[in-house]
Amino acid sequence: MNKDIFNSDRDFTVFDYFISHGQLLIRSKKGDNQKCNIDIIFFDTTFLQLFTMLYGLTIRVVNKDDFIKYDSVNKYLSYDNSNLFEIISGNEKYYIAASFVKVFENELEFNETSLGMIHKGREKEIAGSR
């Protein structure tokens, strides 16, 4: 069963990756028309098949069995706490294998990240897979 988690018509960029914890940050930055960033953080990310610029997106959890067969990805997806996320942007579909995803609004500056152990920028959660 597919479950939509979040959708937005804003532009997003692959922004940061925290290697030791597998945290992937995709951000829609604040600007003239937006007072807040939207930070999408995937946790325990092990696989991504993704374009670096996304013009609008929908994130959904999809059935793990529907994935293209890569042995290493399928092994990861066989674990209980793993998920396959489908990112839809325009007419394209992309995939990320991770434990879970959370979406936050924040007012961090361009050179600040919401990744890591400090949790700065994660005060206002607006969506998530758990």
Give CA–CA dist 57/116, Å, rounded: 24
Q: Where are the domains of the chain?
A: 3-128
Q: What is the pLDDT of residue 97?
A: 95
Task: Pull the structure tokens for residue 65.
Answer: 């069995």
- Centroid of chain to Cα 51: 12
pTM of the model: 0.94
In this structure, what DSSP letter does residue 115 have?
-
Give pLDDT, residue 117. 87
With bands split at pLDDT 50, 70 and 90, how would you rate the model's confidence at 121? very high
Task: Over range 72-90, report the average pLDDT.
Answer: 93
User: Is-contact 41 104, C-beta < 8 A?
Assistant: yes
Q: How does pLDDT run across 23-45, given as a tens digit for each residue?
A: 999 999 998 889 999 999 999 99
